[in-house]
Chains A and B, each alone.
Chain A
């Protein structure tokens, strides 16, 4: 935190997130939502705003939006209204955006962010509302065909969006990033959004003001538009907090306005005044009847909700005794979470098994797992991992051998048990053989033996290491430990 911000001021931050829904078709027409098509090809009379064209609501978008609102603990309004937000811009074909205004379909929710200061380790942040709306097209400036002029691509126009408005309950850049990460994880887990900030399918506007620490009065707010990565959010908030604190401290007056984050400069710049210019003349869209969500239908959507990242983390930490860090890593991506659950499947309630699985997945599997958006490609199947760990559990393989076996089966459909048998990979558990080996090692290291017997119990690892070296890692460590202790004691 910069000097000025720590100088008696605290920021008050609320985030507005626009997330594109992963529907097959657009919000109010049947054009595909796929990206990367030639400009102005995924368009029809409706999303081009041609005279006479009318919107018809996409039921899939409603279903995704409602699942999101339920996952964010919002109450669902039985009868909500689509409103027109009127303004002129070339990327807005109808001259208005269909959105929701005074009667959104959901409101009053919350999500939890990590909070080391609280006894539960988490804290709730309020969600003001979640509503449905449509995306605009894209203005492209000075590109092909344009020669210094601007052109418009309307492929994106009409893509379904949900806007998630958070309460101004965040007090630091770290809070804001934690909130965004939690929110993104939830949307991704629900399968309604791909969580891609850079490509703009998950966009964030930051509302921020500062006030003297301890004050309950809100300062004048500025909005930082379209901050498109977690790092940018962090930096933009830190910068703006310091800037606002300096401005307020200097007693300068300013009005509500919109700013833009310039990552290269590392600063925000003034974009436009808010006051006076923003009369969007919202009114109910007469082309769309009220959206009626019957409670039985809503409850059916609630039953469809998957286990959400926070619940999954709680299960891993409390029932399976994993560390918060491990739980975080293993639930951060929905495919990874599913993979890990697949490894746990044979012993879903066994903490020892869970710890072994967590270690193996985190150190071995995730090292060469690639994720892209909602997709992930794994080097092995959960069943293969689970089979390797069974061999460890049975004492057939040592940890080192397990890693070797994984290296052999990775990228193949082969059964680990068969591969291990064929390669003769078996842990050495023959007590007589191991005892002879241990005796030899103790005899050739009298100094260390004397040290151990003199009280330096840490020397035990030294002997274990030697045994492992002699057996190329195949000795059963539990048996070796026991034998060494016994021999050293006599």
Chain B
């Protein structure tokens, strides 16, 4: 079915005008999921064909009644399992929430529903979104469709793979330090992290509240723009969501990027040794930069001097917030309870010991430590100060340029298991995505020329806060000239 592999906007329009029914689209997608085998790919944690078909039928009924359909009519969309859904389990990739069914929808989920999207199911992820390879899921890893021996990136690994493999037309992920952009890069799809406050976090299981943002994965930039239009906008349930108008993001795709000043941070491409930037990635990004010049953009060398502190800063701020956010998983009200029958302390201890995986425990311990009396100022207060300096790097940069360009990830997808025993190495995989998260500014990863071995590489574009439209204009223009255009994983091609 061509529509299934075509653009999201075309598909939604086809369902709206009745060229194809939502049920046909849903069935075709479910058939692919079934053919792929959930166990084989590890992509989905929860698929319920009847639930999906019922939702598709409701969209078709709505059309049959003569009602206008929403902007995502019949589009099969998968949801990262960190998003609360009232009709599906929400585990956040953790044993501690095994079988948990929230009584409510996340705001972003409710908005997708209202726009007549059809949910394919819940997608695998690193436990509580903590990881860069999706190997920290309590429900097993996800495999990269370009090479099943390699990781898909993380933490939104399932969300990236579902789109790359055609197991959903678009998906939602969440990005705390790169969890949308990095897996998008490693899986060859578009992944967008909006400005902090653009999309309501209500119903997103919190990892690090001051960093978490929900955003879309899609096959093309325009598709990501359409999903963003639906999920963005102020929400009275999230005090950090900002009342800004939702612009015409789809319209921004297709505008001429000519004249845009593209900042190229010296630190991103030069420090290949420090950041572990692979030569193939460097070459691909340099080629992409030339393509941007070809589109009429001006390249401006800029400096982001505090980039080198981003990893340390992030792992203090994010773990501090996580240590508190994850306190609610105590076995008292929901999720798993392990009760040795002695006393309250023993119940808490056993529940959290059995319920949480190693990486989550490591981060809770780190976060608890940095907030402890006597260490707070040395770690947490200092990290907040450095975070301010990183924000200022961006302010200074955006005085000179409109968009910052560079690699999304220093590496292509690495072999499964390669970094599981070396957390620090894993943390460094996020070195290019962390700064935008700490500054709260929007970033997008767009497929660039693949590596010599055919593995995807992402170009990261970052704009100033609330400048998603500008970001999408440039990303869309690049997408049209990118050597990655039209490439699909071999697994799908076969």
Show the binding face of A for B, using Cβ within 8 Å: 45, 48-57, 84, 86, 88, 90, 93-96, 152, 279, 281, 283, 286-289
Contact = CB atoms under 8 A, between A and B. Distances in A.
Contacts of B368: 281
A113 to B, nearest CB: 35
B239 A287 contact: yes
Contacts of A45: 102-104
Interface stretch (B165-173, B205-213, B303-311, B355-363): B205-213
Interface stretch (B25-33, B283-291, B322-330): B322-330
B100 interface: yes
Interface in B54-89: 82-84
B333 A48 contact: yes
A54 B201 contact: yes
A79 to B, nearest CB: 15
Nearest to A45: B104
Given A45-B102, A152-B332, A286-B321, A52 B327 contact: no
Contacts of A54: 201-202, 237-240
B332 A56 contact: no
B332 A51 contact: no
B1 interface: no
Given A51-B328, A93-B333, A288-B239, A283 B320 contact: yes
B348 interface: yes
A90 B348 CA distance: 10
A48 B380 CA distance: 28
Interface in B103-159: 103-104, 106
Contacts of A88: 327, 330, 348
Given A54-B202, A84-B324, A289 B240 contact: yes
B239 A52 contact: no
Contacts of A288: 239-240
A90 B104 contact: no
Given A52-B83, A283-B371, 9 more contacts: A45-B102, A51-B90, A52-B201, A52-B206, A55-B239, A56-B236, A281-B372, A286-B209, A289-B239
6 contacts: A49-B328, A52-B102, A86-B371, A281-B368, A281-B372, A286-B208
B312 interface: no
B202 A53 contact: yes
Nearest to B100: A51
A458 to B, nearest CB: 76
B194 interface: no
B185 interface: no
B420 interface: no
Contacts of A94: 327-328
A246 B307 CA distance: 62
B84 to A, nearest CB: 5
B95 to A, nearest CB: 14
A41 B323 CA distance: 29
Contact of B334 (A50, A86, A95, A279): A50
A85 to B, nearest CB: 10
B344 interface: yes
A94 B240 CA distance: 18
A90 B321 CA distance: 21
Given A95-B327, A286-B321, A287-B209, A56 B239 contact: yes
> Majority SS of interface residues in chain A?
loop
A28 to B, nearest CB: 9
A45 B334 CA distance: 12
Nearest to A285: B209
Contacts of A56: 236-239
Output the residue of A57, A90, A152 with the most chain B CB within 10 A: A90
B97 A51 contact: yes
B228 to A, nearest CB: 20
A275 B467 CA distance: 51
Nearest to B347: A90
In the complex, the 9 A-B pairs of residues with the closest C-beta atoms, listed nearest first: A95-B327, A286-B210, A286-B209, A281-B371, A52-B203, A51-B205, A52-B84, A49-B328, A279-B373
A287 B240 contact: yes
B214 to A, nearest CB: 11
Contacts of B323: 86, 281
B147 to A, nearest CB: 34
Contacts of A48: 333
A48 B104 CA distance: 12
B348 to A, nearest CB: 6
B231 interface: no
A287 B325 CA distance: 10
Given A88-B330, A279-B372, A281-B371, A50 B103 contact: yes
B189 interface: no
Contacts of B236: 56
A287 B348 CA distance: 25
Nearest to B84: A52
Contact of A52 (B205, B321, B333, B380): B205
A281 B324 contact: yes
A84 B320 CA distance: 11
Interface centre among A50, A84, A88, A90 (most CB of B within 10 A): A50
B398 to A, nearest CB: 23
A57 B238 CA distance: 10
B92 interface: yes
Nearest to A288: B239
A287 B321 CA distance: 10
B112 to A, nearest CB: 15
Contacts of B161: none
Given A51-B205, A52-B203, A56-B238, A95 B372 contact: no
A84 B208 CA distance: 14
A86 B97 contact: no
Contacts of A93: 328, 332-333
A283 B380 contact: yes
B337 to A, nearest CB: 11
B484 to A, nearest CB: 34
B275 to A, nearest CB: 28
Contacts of A96: 324, 327
B238 A95 contact: no
Contacts of B238: 54, 56
B239 A51 contact: no
B204 interface: yes
Interface in B180-212: 201-206, 208-210
Contacts of B371: 86, 281, 283
A95 B328 contact: yes
A46 B284 CA distance: 46
B125 to A, nearest CB: 13
Contacts of B239: 54-57, 287-289
Contacts of B82: 52
B103 A283 contact: no
A285 to B, nearest CB: 8
A52 B239 CA distance: 13
Contacts of B204: 52
Contacts of B102: 45, 50-52
Contacts of A49: 328, 333
A303 B368 CA distance: 45
A56 B241 CA distance: 11
Given A279-B373, A287-B209, A289-B240, A52 B106 contact: yes
Interface string B467-481: 000000000000000
B429 to A, nearest CB: 24
Nearest to B344: A90
Contacts of B329: 51
B104 A50 contact: yes
B138 to A, nearest CB: 15
Contacts of B334: 50-51
A289 B241 CA distance: 10
A45 B333 CA distance: 11
Contacts of B206: 51-52, 287
Contacts of B84: 50-52
Contacts of A95: 324, 326-328, 330
Contacts of A52: 82-84, 90, 102, 106, 201-206
